[in-house]
Amino acid sequence: MKITTQYKDGNYAIDVSRGILEDKLTDYTSSYNQVFYLADKNVYRLHKNGKLSFIEDPILMEQGEASKYFDAFSNLLESLLEKGIQRNCLIVIIGGGAAGDAGGFAAASILRGVDYIHVPTTLLAHDSSIGGKTAINSRHGKNLIGAFHRPKGVVYDLDFLDSLPDSEMLSGFGEVIKHAMLRDQETVDALMMATKDGIDVNTVEPFIIKGIETKMDYVIKDENESGVRKHLNLGHTLGHAIEYRYKMPHGIAVTLGIYAALHISNALNQEQTFDLKRYYGYFKGLGYPVEELKTIDAEDMISLMTKDKKNQNTDRIGYIVMDSIGEARFTEIDQKLLIKLIKNLKESL
């Protein structure tokens, strides 16, 4: 399956399928003088005798998030320059969202910009395949340093997902759920049906594609109608606080945040639009620890949320609520009310 981005210019293809890696890469690499491969250490270790055996002498990146700190990033730049990279070369980045972020920022900065291809190896990275954001972390927070720099192509070979640990799969699936919720009821129902017995790469494939399309729609819409991109934060306001406090994988915390958002939307709209029992059962069945929401401390969560720059100097907190599946809305909730709503949610569990 091939998706093409719909920007005004600078478009690229996202190929999503099993077994496409070598063929698709050849299509890209053949038009460059020289190609430099960057690979997440972990991914390379697992696949160097298999899918990645055709790659000679890659530059290994620290695994996952570790690649996004300054020292790892400067080492990466120096390695590329030591090997003599020039402007007409191509960088191929093999790894999850972290490798894509750090490698993409390296591609943006080296010689003020060289072309790159991303080969995502995680489920979550379907999310980063659109939007052109690259970044590394500061001591003062994640993703604070970076550039907008779109890849020349994304080669999403789903075979890689077979080696992904369950917790990473579950985490990435949280963003698949989010994208389905932002799309329409039909997609959510189909997703729930297809994964009622668990998350399997083959059954999830069409929803990865829909997820990419949904994200694309939002990014494009946002270029005209500033602000809708915020909806992509569904589940993230509380999710980030949970992720931070309980050291939970990002997408798992976001899924708990989505459940909370559905509960809070029902309460604010004073309507039982969302069948909370159904979602609770579905999330729980897949392995998301939704019951942990019972143990969160509402005041603590709020105080973490107000650490976010956007919510400083105000007693209201920006929040994405849902009027129905497919209809997200940004609102600001008074802190005291939000504490009450979270306590309410806890009691309901």
Ligand X SMILES: NC(=O)c1ccc[n+]([C@@H]2O[C@H](COP(=O)([O-])OP(=O)(O)OC[C@H]3O[C@@H](n4cnc5c(N)ncnc54)[C@H](O)[C@@H]3O)[C@@H](O)[C@H]2O)c1
- List residues near a second copy by CB under 8 A: 70, 74, 77-78, 81-82, 84, 86, 108-113, 133, 135, 138-141, 144-148, 309
**Greatest C-alpha distance within the chain:** 63
Please report whether residue 143 would count as binding ligand X according to CB under 6 A. yes
The answer to whether the beta carbons of residues 172 and 286 sit under 8 Å apart is no
What residue type is assigned to position 212 of the chain? I
Q: Indicate which of ligand X, a second copy, none lies near residue 153 (CB less than 5 to 8 Å, by partner kind).
A: none
Task: Give 94's strand partners.
Answer: 39, 119
Cα 112 to chain centroid, rounded: 26
The answer to whether the beta carbons of residues 93 and 52 sit under 8 Å apart is no
Q: Which of 24, 51, 73, 121 binds ligand X (CB under 6 A)?
A: 121
As measured in angstroms, the least distance from the Cβ of 33 to ligand X is 26
Please report whether residue 13 would count as binding ligand X according to CB under 6 A. no
- Opening angle at CA 139, ends 136 and 144, nearest 5: 40
Please report whether residue 233 would count as binding ligand X according to CB under 6 A. no
Burial per residue of 182-206, b for 16 or more beta-carbon CB atoms within 10 angstroms, e otherwise: bbbeebbeebbebbeeebebeebbe
As measured in angstroms, the least distance from the Cβ of 71 to a second copy is 9
Please report whether residue 125 would count as binding ligand X according to CB under 6 A. yes
Task: Give 156's strand partners.
Answer: 16
Burial of 43 (C-beta count, 10 Å sphere; 0-12/13-18/19+): buried
As measured in angstroms, the least distance from the Cβ of 141 to a second copy is 7
Q: Which of 40, 115, 205, 243 binds ligand X (CB under 6 A)?
A: 40
In the window 147-206, what residues touch ligand X (CB under 6 A)? 160, 163-164, 168, 172
Q: Indicate which of a second copy, ligand X, none lies near residue 247 (CB less than 5 to 8 Å, by partner kind).
A: none
How many CB atoms lie under 10 A from the CB of residue 48?
A: 13
Please report whether residue 18 would count as binding ligand X according to CB under 6 A. no
172/235 with CB nearer ligand X: 172
As measured in angstroms, the least distance from the Cβ of 347 to ligand X is 32
The answer to whether the beta carbons of residues 118 and 93 sit under 8 Å apart is yes
Cα 123 from Cα 286, distance rounded (Å): 15
Q: Give how far Cα 92 sits from Cα of 39, 72, 346, Å.
A: 8, 17, 46
DSSP state of 152: S
Q: Which of 24, 51, 68, 230 binds ligand X (CB under 6 A)?
A: 68
121/195 with CB nearer ligand X: 121
185/202 with CB nearer ligand X: 202
Q: Indicate which of a second copy, ligand X, none lies near residue 96 (CB less than 5 to 8 Å, by partner kind).
A: ligand X
How many CB atoms lie under 10 A from the CB of residue 127?
A: 23
Please report whether residue 248 would count as binding ligand X according to CB under 6 A. no
Q: Indicate which of ligand X, a second copy, none lies near residue 95 (CB less than 5 to 8 Å, by partner kind).
A: ligand X
Contacts with ligand X, residue ranges (CB under 6 A): 40, 42-43, 46, 63-65, 68, 95-99, 101, 121-122, 124-125, 127-128, 131, 133, 142-143, 160, 163-164, 168, 172
